Structure 1
């Protein structure tokens, strides 16, 4: 695999400035009361296992690399394992993994 040939570099026609701006929006939302309430139950959106709320990560259901946005209806709490497995996939593709 060549140096810049990994999942982190995937962007299907989405410009870097867009991704950077959306990541900043996600950071702001992660500090919000809304996110605290989303993670309070401690449930991973994908595997439904229970975790300490601080162990949950923020996942874009439609990934930024595919044009997803950092808006409340596109952000879900998930465990590190599910987030890593999902990468730039859509939820139906995750079920196939």
Structure 2
């Protein structure tokens, strides 16, 4: 009920969910994925993959452009891992350190 979404690229959308914790954000994007799949066009089912990159500010101040960059990094990691996944920026940082 609180948030804003918009198209930010060809097939990319960005959602800002203020005062939403990570678990709730993950639940929201899972619901989006479940509601969209499969796409039916003229009676024909079309397979769709939806990859998500999430970035969270844990109470500390982060400029919006930093959060968008972090989410974008997580999105490309989700695509690199085979698509149709939800990856957080924290997951990306853990992989980089390993």
Q: Is TM-score (shorter-chain normalized) higher than 0.5?
A: no
Structure with max Cα Rg: 2
Greater strand proportion? 2
Higher relative contact order (CA 8 A, sep 6+): 1
Provide the TM-score with structure 2 as the length reference. 0.31
Greater helix proportion? 1
